[in-house]
Amino acid sequence: MSLGLAGCMVGPNYHAPAAPTVDRYTPAPMPDQTASSPGAAGLAQRFAPGADIPAAWWTLFHCEPLDTVIRAALANSPNIAAAQAALRQAAENYRAQVGGSLLPSVDAQLGATRQKFSGLSVGQPGVVEELNLYNASVNVSYKLDLFGGARRQLEGLAAQIDYERYQLQAAWLALTANIVTAAVKEASLRAQIEATAGIALDEEQQLKLLQQQFELGGVARTAVLAQQTLLAQTRATLPSLQQALDQVRHQLAVLSGKLPSEAALPEFRLDMFSLPQTLPVSVPSSLVKQRPDILAADALLHQASAQIGVATAAMYPQLTLSASYGAEALTPAQVFRAGSTIWSIGGSLLQPLFRGGELLAQKRAAVAAFEQADAQYRETVLQAFQNVADSLRALDNDANGLKAQTEAWHSASDSLDLTRAQYRVGAVSYLALLDAQRQYQQTVVNFAQAQAARYADTAALFQSLGGGWWNAPSSDAANHAPGDTKAAASPPVN
């Protein structure tokens, strides 16, 4: 062990905060599986506590166009590239500090000076001489890390590597989740546009019939005007839906690292997705070892702890050893001759005595920074558990909501068909038909939204649980910095 590592290390030794001891995410236990309803989007989903999440979790939707977009995005995303560069920067800063603080500094020096010498400095006032002076030397200095300040600094830089690595994983997770959500939203908007266009076509046919009846004196003009208004209202919803579709397409292009004008994206529809029927749910004690944002907050807390040690070590003596060996002569040719050798060896001890309270204030500031990082870590954990709880409840409520919307859609469709038949024979008024049309129109849109919610909230659950990045092949995770022991360990698998 080198002398610089032989001393003690002042400051606290970091220990990651304990995981919450709760055994579930929601106040009440979740059911074993969700409700089911007819259709591919209505399948029951089974919760699998303790099951693991695959790294490429989006493949569980079995949508090859989605997989293609995500692969392109991971390769082209500027956010991913920026996070990778930040990780490399942190790793190089660590390597630079290792060489600069724990190893001796060795420098070679060559010099040539022209100077005027006065004998007054040696008691010979009449001697004045101009001369050239040449020297060559090797200088060595070594600052002993007696109290661990340099090692605490390295500990903080290693924690910064961890932080950037988890930020990269967070960027990876956010990108994939945003693409899945955007693709599902596009599919939902397409379904709403198609349904609304179909409703408008039916209403247009109904309007033609009413106009014929009006011309024959069978209905009042108010019925024609009401139907025209309903048709116009239905058509008026299409531009806003189309605008939302255009925006989500532009978003998908940018997420995949392309300009909106040059991206060749597939058109997503709801029937392209398969609903995952088994949902892995990590146990709560594992969440803090899987969520990138929690791990990043833990790394910042570790870094803040190390800075307390750095500030504490600055209050203790600092010992520096130095040595120099070389030659000095009046001409370049004489520099390497016998008799021109010069050398020195020494040491210096610096003990701060009075700094006006500066060092103590810096230590108190480091302690306060640690307390701030600890509070931010606890807040991150609370928000993470809320995200999972929200996602779990949303999935259960989505299933119940889709079941109810399916029943409402069937009822509204049957009611509209029956009301139309009754209206043709004069059994009901036109107002009854108008009301049935409006109800059917709303249920169709709600049905499409309810289908999309099941896919989107399934993706939200995978994201809230951390996305399974720890299961990625090592060849895909070129994120481990050399010398970073913490980065080499993956979180435990459930």
Averaged pLDDT for residues 207-212: 88
At residue 74, the pLDDT reads 94
Q: What is the pLDDT of residue 24?
A: 92
Q: What is the model's pLDDT at position 327?
A: 86
The answer to whether 408 and 443 are in contact (CB under 8 A) is: yes
Q: What is the pLDDT of residue 191?
A: 92
Spell out the residues 6+ positions from residue 434 whose beta carbon is closer than 8 angstroms to its own: 226, 227, 230
Q: State the average pLDDT over residues 422-428.
A: 84
482: pLDDT strictly greater than 70: no
pLDDT for the residue numbered 488 = 33
Residue 474 has a pLDDT of: 61
Range scoring the smallest mean pLDDT among 131-145, 239-253, 279-293, 363-377: 131-145
CA–CA dist 250, 263 (Å, integer) = 9
Q: Is the pLDDT of residue 118 over 50?
A: yes
Mean predicted confidence (pLDDT) in 410-432: 87
**Rounded distance between C-alpha atoms, residue 164 and residue 93, angstroms:** 12
Q: Considering just the CA atoms, what is the radius of gyration of the chain in Å?
A: 36
Tokens at 356, concatenated? 């006006």
Higher pLDDT, 325 or 116: 325
pLDDT digits (tens, 9 = 90+) for 244-275: 999 999 999 999 999 999 888 999 999 999 99
According to DSSP, residue 474 is labeled G
Residue 430: pLDDT band by 50, 70, 90 thresholds? confident
What is the percent of the chain with per-residue pLDDT over 70, rounded to a whole number? 92
Length of the chain: 494
Higher-pLDDT residue of 254 and 7 is: 254
Per mean pLDDT, which range of 119-123, 204-208, 312-316 is the poorest? Answer: 119-123
Structure tokens belonging to residue 24: 């579930």
Q: What confidence tier does 123 reach under pLDDT thresholds 50, 70, 90?
A: low
Please give the pLDDT value at position 484: 39
Sequence-separated (6 or more) residues with CB below 8 Å from residue 128 = 116, 117, 118, 119
Structure token pair of residue 189: 């908007």
Can you state the angle between helices 64-76 and 149-215, rounded to 10 degrees?
140
Helix runs in 9-77, H state only: 64-76
**CB-based contacts of 311, cutoff 8 Å, min separation 6:** 11, 359, 362, 363, 365, 366
Examine the pLDDT at 423 and tell me if it is beyond 60. Answer: yes
Q: Domain limits of the chain?
A: 3-102+147-315+358-476, 105-144+317-350
Per the model's pLDDT, the better-predicted residue between 348 and 124 turns out to be 348
Element housing 470 (H / E): none
CATH 2.20.200.10 applies to domain 105-144+317-350: yes
| Position 343, amino acid | W
Question: Do residues 328 and 133 touch, judged by C-beta distance below 8 A?
Answer: yes
H/E element holding 129?
Answer: strand 128-144
Whether 167 and 479 have beta carbons less than 8 Å apart is answered as: no
Two structure tokens written together for 291: 């969520």
Residues 355/359/364/370 CA torsion (nearest 10 deg)? 160
In whole angstroms, give the CA distance from residue 153 to residue 366: 13
Confidence of residue 82 (pLDDT cuts 50, 70, 90): very high
Query: Three-state DSSP class for 106?
Result: strand
Question: Does 5 score more than 50 pLDDT?
Answer: no
pLDDT-above-90 percentage for the chain: 59
The pLDDT value recorded for residue 485 is 35
Query: What is the CATH number assigned to the segment(s) 3-102+147-315+358-476?
Result: 1.20.1600.10
Q: Average pLDDT, stretch 324-339?
A: 81
Secondary structure E strands in 166-317: 278-281
Alpha-carbon dihedral 20, 24, 25, 26, rounded to 10 degrees: -140
**Local confidence band at 107 (pLDDT 50, 70, 90 cut-offs):** confident
Per-chain mean pLDDT for the chain: 88
Q: H-helix or E-strand containing 446? A: helix 430-464
210/412: higher pLDDT: 412
**What are the pLDDT digits (tens) for 8-25?**
889 899 999 999 999 999
Instruction: Categorize the per-residue pLDDT at 219 as very low, low, confident or very high, splitting at 50, 70 and 90.
Output: confident
When mean pLDDT is compared across 125-134, 190-199, 226-235, the lowest value belongs to 125-134
pLDDT higher than threshold 70 for residue 492: no
